[in-house]
Structure 1
Amino acid sequence: MLTAFLKISLVLFSLSWIYDSKVIAINDGKTYSCSCAVDFSYPDGGQSGLAHCNQNLGEVVNDIRYTCEIDSCYYDGHHYVDMIDCVHNGDSDRRPSNQKCSQYRYMGDVKGFSCTNPGNAHYTCPFKQNSGRMLRCSACTKG
């Protein structure tokens, strides 16, 4: 019984070490700049001061997620992106409005961007009018 317990413990420890090694390999400790064209979001509502950023490199979406210090992320001197012609999700009033998107995700050229403003209201903003608007962060790590 003790032998089986030791074998299982060794296997679990080995798997844990392998997993941790892969995580360490992804986060190489270097600081990167990231243009958040595809996605910018707060994984914990911004409590940690960190955000996730995905960027687009040419025609291929870069699937490396960057973790960035929110205070290093700006668009025109603000920690949000001004988007125009946005429609409030779940509201019967479908009139477009301009929004300060503190979090956003690219959903394709047809669907545009999902946008969350600092008041945590959710909007959909058209792609054509808002392409090229993105937060740029200067203090990011991979992973």
Structure 2
Amino acid sequence: MLHVFLKLSILLFSFLIHDVSGATSTNDPPPVIHSCNTKFRILGDRAECTGADVVRNCAYKSCWLAGHQYIPMTECKLEKSTDKRLSHQECAQYEFIDSDLRDVHFKCKNPGLVDYLCADNANNIGKVLGCSDCYP
């Protein structure tokens, strides 16, 4: 009886080892990150990510830049205000505007849903959110 118990134990243990090693050694490719370099807009638990002339519908929880769901921008002024003071903003939503090449800028909406216009400067260029769970 003890002999049968040992054989069953070894068999079950080998199945367990096979399942664990199979689960940890996956050959799945890393997720594709879609760069939202033109526009990023939050739509509830989804996000609209525009880059390379393609608009993608993404899971908002899959969109990040350096561990944050916003991009930091400098030289921002309150939209539709006569106040000329500049500030730093955390832009949760943004759009790159270049329709008039003399007035290239970013539209920025911070997490408090306040709209700002941010300069097209070296600090702001190239900072974009990337999303991994998207479809066109």
TM-score, L = length of structure 1: 0.66
One-letter identity of the residue aligned with 2:54: I
Structure index of larger Rg:
2
Matched-pair contact (CA < 8 Å) for 1:103–1:116: yes
Deviation of residue 127 (structure 1)?
1.4
Are 2:49 and 1:53 equivalent residues in the alignment? Answer: yes
Q: In the comparison of the two structures, how many residue pairs are matched?
A: 102
2:131 corresponds, among 121, 124, 137, to: 137
Are 2:70 and 1:80 equivalent residues in the alignment? Answer: yes
Where do residues 17-36 of structure 1 align in structure 2 (5 Å cutoff)? 32-36=32-36
Aligned mates of 1:51, 1:121 — CA distance in 2:
18
Secondary structure of 2:121's aligned partner? helix
Aligned mates of 1:91, 1:125 — CA distance in 2:
13
Aligned mates of 1:112, 1:132 — CA distance in 2:
13
Could you tell me which runs of 5 or more consecutive residues in structure 1 were left unpaired when the two chains were aligned: 1-30, 56-61
Q: Segments of 4+ in structure 1 off by > 6 A?
A: none
Are 2:80 and 1:90 equivalent residues in the alignment? Answer: yes
Secondary structure of 1:65's aligned partner? strand
Q: Quick one: percent identity of the two aligned structures? A: 33
Matched-pair contact (CA < 8 Å) for 1:32–1:141: no
Deviation of residue 114 (structure 1)?
0.3
TM-score, L = length of structure 2: 0.70
Residue of structure 1 in register with 2:53 after alignment: 63
2:111 corresponds, among 118, 121, 126, to: 118
